[in-house]
Amino acid sequence: MRIDAQTSQKIAKTLIWTAALFVIVVLFSIIIYILIKGIPMISWQFLTEIPRNMGRSGGISSSIVGTLLVTAVAVIVATPFGIGTAIYLTEYTREGRVTRIIRFSAESLAGIPSIVYGLFGFIFFVIYLKMGWSILSGGLTMAIMILPTIIRTSEEAIRTVPNLYREVGFSLGATKWQAITKTVLPSALPGIVNGVILSIGRCVAETAAVMLTAGSTLRMPISLLSPTRTMAVHFYILAREGISMENAYGTAALLIILILLINVGFNMLVNRFVSKGR
Amino acid sequence: MIQQSKIVIKDLNLYYHEKQVVKELNLEIPQNEIFAIIGPSNSGITTTLRTLNRLCDLTFGARQEGEVLLDGKSIFNKNVNVTELRRKVGMVFDVPTPLPMSIFDNVAFGSNLNGKKSKAEVEEGVEKALRMSALWDDVKDRLNTPAARLSGGQQQRLCIARVLALEPEVILLDRPCSALDPISTAKIEDSLIQLKEQFTIIIAPHTIQQAGRIADRVAFMLMGDLIEQGITHEVFSVPKDKRTNDYLTGRFG
Ligand SMILES: Nc1ncnc2c1ncn2[C@@H]1O[C@H](COP(=O)(O)OP(=O)(O)OP(=O)(O)O)[C@@H](O)[C@H]1O
Ligand SMILES: [Mg+2]
């Protein structure tokens, strides 16, 4: 039996609609469920007090600070290296053995389970470099973990900048570096930022690797060399050991809100920058 | 008869890898005139223009033999500062290419690169360039809005202004009006005629008619060979070569 074009169009449309609807429903149910369970737990006290009694009571302020610091270290370290590598790959070499090796390494690194990074961070930063369980060890480990993502997204973003932009730069007397920084990077910025946001999400959500490198103390960190327990780790421990489901949901809800805020914040920043040009 | 030659092209051969696209080109381009290079597709015109400000250096596999003299000095000499050469020999591309920034920043782009000018000088230069390209009145109240919001014709005049702001000596235009409507085209042609008082202009016109309207001289290229060149109305009224005649009467291309 042959289906005529109109019918197949209708069937396809229905199927695609169902798929999209299904995804949206699943995603929203999870988020809404956690928010409904978690938001009632969030109070001023929850945000500002350190956990007491293993996390059964008190707040999670030390975990919030720890999460932000570990993520900040990771992003601040990984972004320049990632963008630098992407610029090298796209602008400073021809496709060849070197670029293939770098790209292959980056891609392989992206596929490694995060616990392997955790183990590496534990052996290298915590023990060998004697940094101990600390925000720094955790942040650097996360930096290595997100590096491939940043390289890949930046490389893609830079590659989609029309070659003409570079030529315009050069034709106006720009040096290579000026052409890159003044014409290529601004156009690639939205894509690059997207990669960074994605990476922030991965840092914030990571448990195993940070637990191995940043520790799981509940104390408020006082320096980058202090150990900490990030929110994801805290959530994991609270839920896993059945310490307090209420506070676990509170932490999870806050995690979701944090990620949403970071997303919205960065997007607003980029839009402000981009709308000057478009 | 030929006043001073701004650019002299001597025995120029251009290649991409092993493929030769321009053969034994000899041209003298007089100062303060509009010189049009016409020819059907794949004649090597873009390649020739891109050689004159060494934009070809950026193309993988592009090679040249022969000589190009700007004011009597070779542009291929090792001591030539290429970024300065490109400021002296500005280029406008066939599609409008506003950079993703404001109108002002687009025009100021070149001046801001070497940072030699004060803010006031840059502003003055931007206004002057926009006036010369006949865009000032259109944009003077919205210099800080994104350049991408201009119409195609305005964008192309912006690109011309951007080159003018470099205070170049030669302006290369590669089919600058191919994406534009007749009214925008007429405006650009008017400004070019004004501009030749101060600059030497080399253009790949997008139609023969455009060459007829604005060019003092034309050169006709075909598959990399220079077939004929001379004063525009002479070449157009009595072409010496049959192929020129065929091209002008629309028999190919
Ligand atoms: N980057 C490149 N690599 C290899 N060959 C090229 C490259 N650019 C152009 N060519 C070839 O060189 C020849 C001349 O091209 P060019 O763009 O100079 O011609 P043109 O006269 O400007 O043509 P058009 O009217 O299409 O703009 C063409 O055969 C083209 O395929
Ligand atoms: Mg061309």
**pLDDT at position A276, please?**
60
Examine residue A50 and state whether it is found in any structural domain, yes or no: no
CATH of the domain at A158: 1.10.3720.10
Whether A7 shows a pLDDT value over 50: the answer reads yes
pLDDT above 70 (res B3): no
Task: Provide the ipTM.
Answer: 0.89
What was the pLDDT predicted at B133?
A: 87
C-alpha distances out from residue A230 to A36, A215, A258, Å: 22, 9, 13
Which structural domain range is residue A225 located in?
A: 70-277
Q: Please tell us whether the domain made up of B5-98+166-248 is placed in CATH 3.40.605.10.
A: no
Ligand 1 lined by B47 (C-beta under 6 Å): yes
Residue A99 pLDDT exceeds 90 = no
Instruction: Please state whether beta strands B217-222 and B34-38 pair in parallel, antiparallel, or not at all (unpaired).
Output: parallel
Q: Whose CA is nearest to atom 2 of ligand 1?
A: B16
State the pLDDT at residue A95: 81
Q: What is the mean pLDDT of residues B121-131?
A: 93
Residue A109 pLDDT greater than 90, yes or no: no
A58: in domain: no
The per-residue pLDDT for range B73-86, each reduced to its tens digit, is 999 999 999 999 99
Query: For residue B17, how far is its CA from the centre of ligand 1 (angstroms)?
Result: 12
- Chain B residues whose beta carbon lies within 8 Å of the beta carbon of residue A183: 99
Amino acid A4: pLDDT = 85
Q: Which residue has the tokens 């690169």?
A: B113
Residue whose C-alpha is closest to residue B133's, from B166, B160, B171: B160
Sequence ranges of the domains in chain B: 5-98+166-248
- Measured CA to CA, the distance from residue A51 to residue A46 in angstroms comes to 8
Task: For chain A, give the percent of residues with pLDDT over 90.
Answer: 71
Average pLDDT over residues A94-103: 86
> What is the model's pLDDT at position A219?
92
- Contact between B156 and B172 under an 8 Å Cβ cutoff? The reply is no
Query: With bands split at pLDDT 50, 70 and 90, how would you rate the model's confidence at A1?
Result: low
Share of chain A above pLDDT 70, in %: 98
Within a domain: residue A205? Answer: yes
Write out pLDDT tens, residues B208-218.
999 999 999 99
Lookup: tokens for A57: 């009571």
Chain A residue with Cα closest to B103: A277
pLDDT on residue B1: 46
- pLDDT for A117 beyond 60: yes
User: Across all residues in chain B, what is the average pLDDT?
Assistant: 91
pLDDT mean across residues, chain A: 91
Q: Into how many domains does chain A fold?
A: 1
How many percent of chain B have pLDDT more than 90?
A: 79
Question: B51: nearest CA in chain A?
Answer: A171
Mutate one of A160, A171, A183, A192 to test the B interface: name it (highest B CB count within 10 A): A171
Q: Is A178 on the interface with B (CB under 8 A)?
A: yes
Question: Given pLDDT bands bounded at 50, 70 and 90, which one contains residue B139?
Answer: very high
pTM of the model: 0.82
Over the stretch A227-240, which tens digit does the pLDDT of each residue have?
999 999 999 999 99
Residue A254 pLDDT class (50, 70, 90 cuts)? very high
C-alpha B44 to ligand 1 mean position (Å): 6
Confidence of residue A12 (pLDDT cuts 50, 70, 90): very high
pLDDT tens track for B147-199: 989 998 899 999 999 999 999 999 999 999 888 889 889 988 999 999 999 99
Give the pLDDT of residue A11.
92
pLDDT of res. A278: 57
pLDDT > 80? residue A206: yes
Question: Is A268 within the bounds of a domain?
Answer: yes
A62-92: pLDDT as tens digits: 999 999 999 999 999 999 999 999 999 998 8
Question: pLDDT tens-digit profile of A31-68?
Answer: 999 999 999 999 999 999 899 888 888 889 999 999 99
Is pLDDT above 90 for A255? yes
Residue A277, pLDDT score: 59
